[in-house]
Amino acid sequence: MDPQRWGDPAQAAPLSPEARGLVELAFGSGPRLEQLPVGSPPAGRLDPRLLPGLGALVGEEHVLVDDLTRTLRTRGKSTPDLLLARAGDLSDAPDVVVRPGSTEQVERVLAFAVEHRLAVVPFGGGTCVTGGLVASRAGTVAVVSLDLCRMDRLLAVDTTSMTAVLEPGLRGPEAEALLAAEGLTIGHYPQSFEHATIGGFAATRSSGQSSAGYGRFDALVVGLTAVTPTGTITLGSAPATAAGPDLRQLLLGSEGTLGVITSVTVRVRPLPAVKVYDGWRWPSFAAGADAMRTLAQTGLLPTVLRLSDEAETAINLADPAAIGGGGDEGCLMITGYEGDAETVEVRRAAVSAVLAGRGGTPLGEGPGQTWVHGRFAGPYVRDAMLDEGVLVETCETATFWSNRERLYRDVRSALEASLGEGTIVLCHISHVYETGCSLYFTVAAQGGDDPLARWLDAKQAAGDAMIAAGATITHHHAVGTDHKPWLAQEIGPVGVRVLRALKAELDPTGVLNPGVLVP
């Protein structure tokens, strides 16, 4: 991987001449973003005399202090992260990378960290976009990146209960390949799927592009094991329980601040025999959203359900021949169906009848196939736009259906007002519930002389608008450090005290991902 870019370098590509022409037309020909050569991180601050002790816990070959390994564990993959890396700033690099191979080794590493005041940052795929991999150094002497890549096994499969136990270091494609050999799937496909891990999905409450049919990842988790500095906890003895508050929910979304998740038991489904994706056109974003609400509230959801607003649709429809024809007016909806042939046929017909009855225009399978083939490509396009000096970043939120229109309007207005004339704000809905939905915004604007400062100002404006509208600060990107100021507003002073009390009980010395999540 390239610390200054997303994903697999082999999949990266510059903008085509045609696309570059459209970018110049939209944003002008501003300065290209300089990308300095990848340098070396600051010298590690870990006392070298501690290295043999760590090596005795996990094997000395799994304790790494070389510059490249430390560089590749620096920050995540948000646009601010990449802008800092492109400018040669590696100041947040960990001091040592430690790769445990079991729950027992994680226990030993945490005990060692407590004894020697080492901050520990759990690391999976490194795809975090909210500053969740940047630990505060206050009160600690060095930062350990706890790389879970060796914990990559499918531990158990229960085809009677339809559950599977997986280790946290499994990347999305690896987990699906292991389960496919058993005829099973999790069905969790966030945009980060190719690089993110099972542990990361759990620790951030990830929500995938097929959430309408399979559910959010936290809804799929029926059990887990987590190591805390005060002991190891194993949860999930039954599919449901009334034995007090559900303690699994304390670890799900905890972002490595309360414990290190070392195994996850998830609900699985039969591997689908059929996958079909359709396109629909709607006269407006509001009309399409109302149709989505109808499907959610009648319990007639497809596996995939997403709706682009007019601006995002205009870009998606730039090449009409690629998606089945038509102009660039209205809004594009994608519906997807996965399962056995009979189930897919019945549900597709039922959903299509509702959508047609609500005023949708069917576009056939072309738009759906185009979306499937490009569903993980967005971050690569972001990198290519950054190369051209165009600032591109995303933010997301969620609210109740009755508040959707206000939230959509207010966040768009806040972003446009902050970034100024020429800003393009795109939005889609891709996660729906009976009571509400998420809104996912993509922003593009001229980067100017200081693109990082421009985005941070815009992010502040967007976050303030979300909270003022009564929405959540994040639906599935998690809190990290970026969303902490708004989290305190969202959960209130009592909620903050609850989080702090949990932190004090499970991590009394504060070694687990300090500075992240907890206000």
Domain final residue pick, 374, 404, 426: 374
In a domain, 123, yes or no: yes
Give CA separation, 30 vs 36, 84, 302, 388, 391, in Å.
Answer: 18, 20, 43, 8, 11
In a domain, 184, yes or no: yes
Number of domains in the chain: 3
| Beta-sheet pairing, 260-267 with 221-228 | antiparallel
In a domain, 136, yes or no: yes
3-state secondary structure of 248: helix
Query: For residue 243, what are the domain limits?
Result: 154-270
346/126 Cα distance (integer angstroms): 40
Phi, psi at 158, each rounded to 5°: -120, 95
In a domain, 485, yes or no: no
Give me the CATH number covering residue 311.
3.30.70.3450
In a domain, 108, yes or no: yes
Domain final residue pick, 107, 130, 147: 147
Task: Specify whether 109 is located in the same domain as 197.
Answer: no
265/283 Cα distance (integer angstroms): 43
In a domain, 118, yes or no: yes
How confident is the model at residue 324, as a pLDDT? 35
pLDDT in tens, the chain (519 residues): 788 999 999 999 888 887 787 778 788 776 677 777 888 999 999 999 999 999 999 999 999 999 999 999 999 999 999 999 999 999 999 999 999 999 999 999 999 999 999 999 999 999 999 999 999 999 999 999 999 999 999 999 999 999 999 999 999 999 999 999 999 999 999 999 999 999 999 999 999 999 999 999 999 999 999 999 999 999 999 999 999 999 999 999 999 999 999 999 999 999 999 999 999 999 999 999 999 999 999 999 999 999 999 999 988 644 433 333 344 579 999 999 999 999 999 999 999 999 999 999 999 999 999 999 999 999 998 999 999 899 999 999 999 999 999 999 999 999 999 999 999 999 999 999 999 999 999 999 999 889 999 999 999 999 999 999 999 999 999 999 999 999 999 999 999 999 999 999 999 999 999 999 999
Q: DSSP secondary structure string, 380-443?
A: HHHHHHHHTTEEEEEEEEEEEGGGHHHHHHHHHHHHHHHH-TT-EEEEEE--B-SSEEEEEEEE
Task: Specify whether 304 is located in the same domain as 266.
Answer: no
Task: Specify whether 216 is located in the same domain as 300.
Answer: no
Task: Specify whether 160 is located in the same domain as 251.
Answer: yes
Task: Specify whether 208 is located in the same domain as 265.
Answer: yes
Task: Specify whether 338 is located in the same domain as 310.
Answer: yes
Task: Specify whether 186 is located in the same domain as 168.
Answer: yes
**Start-end of H helices in 166-254:** 172-180, 198-203, 211-214, 217-220, 248-251
Task: Specify whether 278 is located in the same domain as 265.
Answer: no
Contacts of residue 189, defined as CB under 8 A and 6 or more positions apart, other chains included, come to 172, 208, 209, 210, 375
499/505 Cα distance (integer angstroms): 10
Task: Specify whether 262 is located in the same domain as 294.
Answer: no
Q: What is the DSSP letter of 242?
A: -
Cα-based torsion angle of the residue sequence 252, 254, 259, 265 in order, rounded to the nearest 10 degrees: 10
Nearest Cα to Cα of residue 199 among 509, 478, 8 = 478
In a domain, 133, yes or no: yes
Are 170 and 198 a contacting pair, CB within 8 Å?
yes
Give CA separation, 357 vs 48, 308, 331, 425, in Å.
Answer: 69, 20, 17, 30
Task: Specify whether 278 is located in the same domain as 216.
Answer: no
Q: What is the DSSP letter of 191?
A: T
How confident is the model at residue 323, as a pLDDT? 32
How confident is the model at residue 328, as a pLDDT? 57
In a domain, 126, yes or no: yes
**DSSP H or E run through 26:** helix 17-27
How confident is the model at residue 52, as a pLDDT? 98
- Name the token pair of 12: 């990266």
Give me the CATH number covering residue 169.
3.30.465.10
Give me the CATH number covering residue 98.
3.30.43.10
Nearest Cα to Cα of residue 485 among 509, 459, 452, 508 = 459
This prediction has a pTM of: 0.95
Task: Specify whether 370 is located in the same domain as 350.
Answer: yes
Are 214 and 269 a contacting pair, CB within 8 Å?
yes
| Beta-sheet pairing, 221-228 with 231-235 | antiparallel
Task: Specify whether 134 is located in the same domain as 174.
Answer: no
How confident is the model at residue 320, as a pLDDT? 37
Domain final residue pick, 312, 345, 374: 374
